[in-house]
Amino acid sequence: GEVVTRFPPEPNGYLHIGHAKAAIVDFEYAKKYDGKFILRFDDTNPENAKHEFYKAQKEDLKWLGITWDDEYNTSDNLNKHYDLAEQLIKQGDAYVCKCSSEAFKEHRSKGTECDCRNNSPDENKSLWNEMQSTLNNASLKLKGDMKSVNTAMRDPTLFRVINKRHPIQNDRYRVWPTYDFAGAVEDSLSGVTHPFRTKEYELRDEVYFKLLDLLNLRKPHLLEFARLSIGGMPVSKRKIKPLIDNGTV
């Protein structure tokens, strides 16, 4: 009765067989241990999120025989995410970067620090406030280790500006957390004990636990399983959506 798992789809497309595998693993582990299973819509990128996908994904999960004990949207918790971002800024563990994505990619590749990294916490707080209103070409980054052999730790982006209307939050927010930030924070705050992620996120585990350490949040027992691939068949929302849109499938 103490195991808590979650299935966190992004409502930006229709579920495919890879999601089915992930959802069943999450659901069956909770069921096996008489625990709790949470459906969490990770809707922190308004670019592709649509109302129809929240509904379609729930219908498909029910078709698979999956039921859930709790359901919520990550976007509903953005104010809490902002509080935690400001905590990191105040502690000197995060900074606002105004470098172009190309310039920062170069820094990351070479393992060098950009000038923005030297901002004071007060300067970062002021720039963070500007991001909420007028500043567009900026992001909040974790002060990681630009020399780390794990390139995921080279100052990953935590928040970015996306000027797009959200299907649920409308125009309430313009600064949105990345998967690195939202995933770690939501797993901890929602009481998840055993979050499952696919193998391609394994390098990002260090970022996950670093964030929880810096924020003094509870650390779940993170587990990985393999991605599901089928030879000759696309298993990716990004590749499947155009096939659906143009009537191929």
How does pLDDT run along the chain (249 residues), one tens digit per residue?
899 999 999 999 899 999 999 999 999 999 999 999 999 999 999 998 999 999 999 999 999 999 999 999 999 999 999 999 999 999 999 999 999 999 999 999 999 999 999 999 999 999 999 999 999 999 999 999 999 999 999 999 999 999 999 999 999 999 999 999 999 999 999 999 999 999 989 999 999 999 999 999 999 999 999 988 889 888 888 888 888 889 998
Residue 236 has a pLDDT of: 83
State the amino acid at position 211 in one-letter form: L
**Could you list the active site residues?**
10, 227, 237
Residues 6+ apart with CB under 8 A from 221: 193, 194, 195
Q: How far is CA 86 from CA 81, 91, 126, 145, 203, in A?
A: 9, 8, 11, 20, 26
| Nearest of 228, 222, 229, 218 to residue 197 by alpha carbon | 222
Q: Identify the pLDDT of residue 237.
A: 82
Q: What is the rounded distance in angstroms from the CA atom of residue 28 to the CA atom of residue 187?
A: 18
Interaxial angle between packed helices 179-189 and 205-214, expressed in degrees from 0 to 180 and rounded to the nearest 10: 60
pLDDT number for residue 166? 97
Amino acid at 103: A
- pLDDT, one tens digit per residue, over 39-79 is 999 999 999 899 999 999 999 999 999 999 999 999 999 99
- Rounded Cα distance between 75 and 168, Å, is 8
- Burial of 75 (C-beta count, 10 Å sphere; 0-12/13-18/19+): buried
Query: What pLDDT is stored for residue 61 in this prediction?
Result: 98
First to last CA, the chain: 42
Give Cα 54 distance to the centre of its chain: 17
Extract the tokens encoding 210.
Answer: 């670093």
